[in-house]
Amino acid sequence: MAKILIVDDEVGIRELLSEILRDEGHDIILAENAAAARAARNAARPDLVLLDIWMPDTDGVSLLKEWSANGQLTMPVVMMSGHGTIDTAVEATRIGAMEFLEKPIALQKLLAAVKRGLSRIKPAHAPSPLGLGAFARSAPLRDLKKRLEQMADKSRIILLRVGPGSLAELCARTLQRIGTPWLDLSLSSAPLELNTLEGARNGLLYVPELYYLSRPQQKNLVFAMDRLERHGHTLVVATEHDIDELIEHGWDERALARLFEVSLAPPALGEIRDEIPEIASQILLHFVEAGEVPPRRLSSAALNALRNRNWSGGYAELKAAIKSLALGTLEDEIDMDEVAHLLVKTPTAALGLPLDLPLREAREIFERLYFEHHLQIDGSNMTRLAEKTGLERTHLYRKLKQLGISVGKRHDNGDG
């Protein structure tokens, strides 16, 4: 029969529902709170979940939102509450709950709801891309999500002012409504046609870096901007450059004025270093759910090693590293040695520098590689880094800031 996860903080209700459903021949998993429910969901992959709304750690609706955001709402969920409201029931249904049962739950209503839920099980499909909603336990990312949604509620165009360690794609994916199209305007220089915009109706248009758009792509972006309202689009663009630099690069000043009207500077990965273990765990879980990697987990030491790394390539670099680790490891658990083997750079990485760059740009790339290499080796210990590089600490901090390399204060002392 089916595997059913029952989530309720009241032991009496868990035992009663468990007894009833076991008598019907089902395998039952029990969880007393949201934390236990997360673990049970990941380990058991239940066919159906009975989820209480009011729990002491995280309420059921928030847990439902989390599962929906990180691609884990792959099973029917029946919400339960002894004092729910119509608004709560409507919200839960909108997020993805199958139905709502009011406590005390009548036997026939319970069995009918379980039967309906199990009849709706669909073949597995690829989960939606991760957005910020997947990281519900991270206060900085929750705040960032709220800011983005608040802006998107009043403006169809949002510009992200980013630097090394960018979270631009993750921010943009947050504003993509489930089941709607995603159109990256940097991937083609062919003239943008009306039928393409119509095919992406109510979807999200994205540009990862304005500076690299060719003239035809700039024209496509302006063409799309003029029709956002008509096709229900939201436009999210990102750049490391200011308006003057973009104008010098050939951009139309009027178009830039429109793009820069509403902007946000999301934190770089280096600025939210303590959130990296949570982000990495959710990325890995998402890959597993999508069937892109075998079931894997990250050890505490591996997560700490990821946290200590300077992710100048941002979310995209972290995501690629997690996928490589999951595909490359031979064990179920990815340990610190695997992280070190895959990710620690050697000075020879600098040999990949493009030699047709202006000297200033080439030197900046080399310096970033140089400092990131030594920061990785020494666990971001600033005293050892100053000794190795021969730089006075004040000068060293100024140089790292100039290169966009963030170092947490906990690594400033001499003992690491």
| CB 7, CB 39: distance < 8 Å | no
Q: Do 115 and 15 sit in the same domain of this protein?
A: yes
CB-CB contact of 299 with 336 (8 Å): yes
**pLDDT tens profile 345-382:** 544 444 455 555 667 667 777 787 778 777 776 666 77
CATH classification at residue 307: 1.10.8.60
DSSP, residue by residue, 52-120 = ES--SSS-HHHHHHHHHHTT---S-EEEEESS--HHHHHHHHHHT--EEEESSPPHHHHHHHHHHHHHT
Q: Which of 142, 157, 162, 188 is nearest to 270 (CA)?
A: 162
Same domain, 138 and 257: yes
Same domain, 325 and 385: no
Q: What is the pLDDT of residue 86?
A: 76
Residues in the chain: 416
Q: Domain with 401 in it: what CATH number?
A: 1.10.10.60
Name residues whose C-beta falls within 8 Å of residue 147's C-beta, 6 or more positions apart in sequence: 264
Residues 139, 97, 204, 243: what is their CA dihedral angle, to the nearest 10 degrees? -10
**What is the full per-residue pLDDT of the chain (416 aa) written as tens digits?**
799 999 999 999 999 999 999 999 999 999 999 999 998 998 888 999 999 998 888 899 999 988 887 778 889 999 998 876 778 878 888 888 998 898 889 999 999 999 999 988 765 556 778 899 888 888 999 999 999 999 999 999 999 999 888 999 999 999 998 789 999 999 999 999 999 999 999 999 999 999 999 999 999 999 999 999 999 999 999 999 999 999 998 999 999 999 999 999 999 998 999 999 999 999 998 898 888 999 999 999 999 999 988 888 889 889 999 999 999 998 999 999 888 887 655 444 444 555 556 676 677 777 877 787 777 766 667 777 887 777 877 778 878 877 777 765 444 444 44
Structure tokens at 40: 């049970």
DSSP state of 49: E
Question: Is there a single domain that holds both residue 256 and residue 275?
Answer: no
**What pLDDT score does 72 carry?**
83
Judge if 311 and 328 occupy the same domain.
yes
214 occurs within a structural domain: yes
pLDDT value of position 87 = 80
Overall number of domains in the chain: 4
Instruction: Please indicate, yes or no, if residue 127 is contained in any of the structural domains.
Output: no
The CATH number linked to 136 is 3.40.50.300
Q: Assess whether 185 and 237 both reside in one domain.
A: yes
Residue 385 lies in a domain: yes
Residues 332 and 404 in one domain: no
One-letter identity of residue 33:
N
Q: What is the pLDDT of residues 170-225, one digit of tens each?
A: 999 999 987 899 999 999 999 999 999 999 999 999 999 999 999 999 999 999 99
Q: Give a yes or no: residue 241 inside a domain.
A: yes
Residue 397 Cα distances to 304, 385, 392, 403, angstroms: 23, 11, 9, 10
Is 238 in contact with 159 (CB distance < 8 Å)?
A: yes
Last residue of a domain, one of 244, 264, 284: 264
Shared-domain flag, residues 257 and 306: no
> Would you state the pLDDT for residue 214?
92
Q: Is 45 exposed, middle or buried (0-12, 13-18, 19+ CB in 10 A)?
A: middle
310 and 251, same structural domain?
Answer: no
Q: What pLDDT, on a 0 to 100 scale, did the predictor assign at position 390? A: 78
pLDDT of residue 413: 46
Is residue 125 a part of any domain in this protein? no
Question: Considering 72, 96, 119, which residue would you say is the last residue of a domain?
Answer: 119
C-alpha span between 122 and 14 (Å, rounded): 26
Confidence (pLDDT) at 122: 61
Domain membership of residue 276 as a residue range: 269-343
The answer to whether residues 115 and 187 belong to one domain is no
Q: Based on the domain organization, do 338 and 354 belong to the same domain?
A: no
Helix, strand, or coil here: 239? strand
Q: Do 287 and 306 fall within a single domain?
A: yes
